[in-house]
Amino acid sequence: MSRSVSLSKKEVLVFILIILSLSGIFYKPIFSSDIWLHLKMGEYIVQNDYTLPISDPFSYTTKGKPVILCEWLSQIVLYLVYNEFGFTGLRVMRVLLMMAALSFVFWTAFQISNRFLVALLVLLVTAYLFRTRYLIRPELFSILFFTFVYTWFTRTRKRFKHVDYAIFFLLCVLWINLHPFMLFAGVIVAILSFARMVTKVRGITSWFRITELPFNPNVLFLLFLIGSIINPYGYHIYGYVFGATPVVKQYIQEWQPIFICLQRRLFRFITGGVLAFPCIMKGLVSGIIACFLTVLIGSYTRRIRWSIGDILIGLLTIYLAITAARFAWLLFVPVLLIVKYGTIYVENRGLPERPRVTTFISFIMVGAGVIIACLYWMNECYTRIPYNLKHEIQIENYPDVPVRILKATNLSGRLYNPSGWGGYLIYHLYPRYKVFVDTRTYLHGETILVNSMLIQYQYPGFERLLETYGFDILLFKKMFGDRRPFYSADWILIFENVNSAMYVKKNKRNKTNLKKIVKYYKENNVPFDPKKGFDLEELRKDDHLSELYRLR
């Protein structure tokens, strides 16, 4: 079966315009809570002569726990890019990585179908899926590498040579030091190896399509195993990945099942957060899964068989996407499989001239869902391009003013902070302050995570926890509009604005802290009563102070 795989000049121009438009969307300002910690860890490693820390230096609750930096190379890269080019460099890097990954998917879809519009639709759907994970963090490298490896395996027809095996091995070594998702590539290769063995079973060809792979999956799997242990921690990297997973799945929302953790808000509502998926995202995920199963079942009713590897890989990526929202981007794999076997449908005239009503309705519903998703994607996302180009950081996501005050006053004592702000505080305040908790769930452990949430959401008994940990300073994330996180006669409010509130403990140990706060506000001409505390409503009347401290 031979076909032309070249794009016309008009198609190339349309593709370039779409990629440029998507670049404007993926040039989104910094909004992740993890980027700050990665930058600080990269800085720490570089400034210590590229020596990895044995224990965690940033939090006082880790108590010298040994730390496994499975993303150490990514952290160095991120820091070096930032150190040279600033946040603009990081955002450009994100755009380049994501556009390269999308280009791999587009080109593979075009080679499979030889239809530009089909490939373009796959590109838009995949871009929407990737938008759920376009934070600037080490995972970006895994998105790029996994799309490259999977599309490489899918589109290649030439027999692998020694240089191809060498490239795969070097890729594994590089990838495992960038991000631990590299281990999933080994799962894909293992599935292909298993599928090759199963094809030797008598009568299997009656049920499954036998495709001759251009490479030996057993050799690739051996190279994967060797490459995966070429890292500073050797085979212990497996223990880190599989040991941390149960904890993060329990306490981090993005690891929750996709139809549970996704936002239950208005149809068109999007806040820009990691988990702020509108209902249309749920519809797109459901549509892809329904379409995949429809094509899979419909293929066998028309005597068009699938390969064992494609079935297992497609079902596995769907399973991961359903069980953890962070893996929704993997649905580009079943999308490519839909295109692959849908093309075989057409080329072999597998579809009946008068399709059955159920099949017809299924395709109409799925098609309508995909079209609506693409229209929503173009309408809701492209309108944000001017905002993306204008702003560098979504500063409203961070406690920028409390950090400014802590730097200026140099308060002493133990600080409480919510986990989502831990990285930002580490980046700006280390080594003067160490944090209570940050987003490294696996490192802090279940007890610290639970206690942090009890304090943040003021569950019964949180006052006892404040005493137990001996906090001197409390930094709260305001979760309920303008309502203050809590009121206590033992604490004085020293600052409050639209997203945060900061308190100091009223005791002998913190008299010096309170004097520093009084001095700071006096020098900045901010009215402050050390007995009554920070008066947000009164200060909001001053336009200058409201803008300076983001009081409105």
Q: What is the pLDDT of residues 257-270, one digit of tens each?
A: 776 654 444 333 33
Q: Are residues 27 and 77 in the same domain?
A: yes
**Cβ-based neighbours of 54, under 8 Å, separated by 6 or more:** 66, 67
Strand bridging mode 473-477 / 491-496: unpaired
Q: Between the ranges 167-176, 284-293, 319-328, 438-447, where is the mean pLDDT highest?
A: 167-176
Residue 272's pLDDT is what?
A: 35
Query: Are 353 and 489 in the same domain?
Result: no
Entry pTM: 0.89
Do the bridges between strand 500-505 and strand 473-477 make them parallel or antiparallel, or are there none, so unpaired? Answer: antiparallel
Please check whether residues 446 and 408 belong to one and the same domain: yes
CB atoms closer than 10 angstroms to residue 520: 18
User: Are the beta carbons of 458 and 432 closer than 8 angstroms?
Assistant: no
Residue 48 lies in a domain: yes
227, 230, 233, 97: which is closest to 168 by C-alpha?
A: 227
Q: DSSP string covering 90-129, please?
A: HHHHHHHHHHHHHHHHHHHHHHHH--HHHHHHHHHHHHHH
Domain match, 152 and 47 both: yes
434-485 confidence digits (pLDDT tens)? 999 998 888 888 889 889 988 988 888 899 999 999 999 999 998 765 667 7
pLDDT tens column, 385-437: 888 888 899 888 899 999 999 999 999 999 999 999 999 999 999 999 999 99
- Domain boundary (362, 388, 414) is at 388
Domain edge (last residue) among 345, 366, 388:
388
Structural domain boundaries, residue 518? 398-548
One domain for residues 383 and 402: no
Same domain for 528 and 429: yes
d(CA 56, CA 339): 47
Per-residue confidence band for 54, with pLDDT thresholds at 50, 70 and 90:
very high
* pLDDT over threshold 70, residue 369: no
Structure-token match 């520093």, residue found: 516
Q: For residue 493, tell me if it sits in a domain.
A: yes
Asked if the structure places residue 3 within a domain, the reply is: no
Q: Which of 148-157, 294-303, 353-362, 429-438 has the lowest mean pLDDT?
A: 353-362
Whether the ω angle into residue 180 lies within 30 degrees of 0, i.e. cis, is no
What is the tally of structural domains in the chain? 2
Of residues 411 and 345, more confidently modeled: 411
Do 262 and 119 sit in the same domain of this protein?
yes
Instruction: Write the pLDDT tens digit of every residue in 14-52.
Output: 999 999 989 988 999 998 888 999 999 999 999 999 999
70 and 157 within one domain: yes
Whose tokens are 């309705």? That residue is 361
